[in-house]
């Protein structure tokens, strides 16, 4: 059950990030919030997802710095 909840949280995070991707400032804020909640292995998965998601959105790439903090 716990793992299931974490999975929902992870998918929810991706949904939020997709929804705010029109605004780099909002995107960075939501990413920062997500990084506080997710586990290290989830952050790794999110990082992989973000790399492909931001491929066509260079304006969002700056937010990826947050992951390496």
Note the pLDDT of residue 11.
93
Rounded to whole angstroms, the Cα distance separating 64 from 47 reads 8
Q: What is the pTM of this model?
A: 0.86
Q: What is the residue range of 13's domain?
A: 2-68
Show the DSSP H helices in 1-67 as ranges.
2-19, 24-37, 40-53
Note the pLDDT of residue 69.
63
Question: How many domains would you assign to the chain?
Answer: 1
7-66, pLDDT tens digit by residue?
A: 888 999 999 999 999 999 999 999 999 999 898 999 999 999 999 999 999 999 999 999
């Amino acid at each position: 059950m716990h793992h299931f909840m974490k999975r929902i949280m992870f998918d929810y995070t991706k949904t939020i990030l997709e929804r705010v991707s029109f605004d780099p400032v909002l995107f960075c804020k939501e990413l920062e919030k997500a990084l506080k909640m997710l586990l290290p292995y989830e952050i790794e998965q999110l990082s992989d997802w973000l790399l492909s998601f931001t491929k066509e959105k260079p304006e969002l790439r700056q937010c990826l710095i947050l992951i390496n903090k």
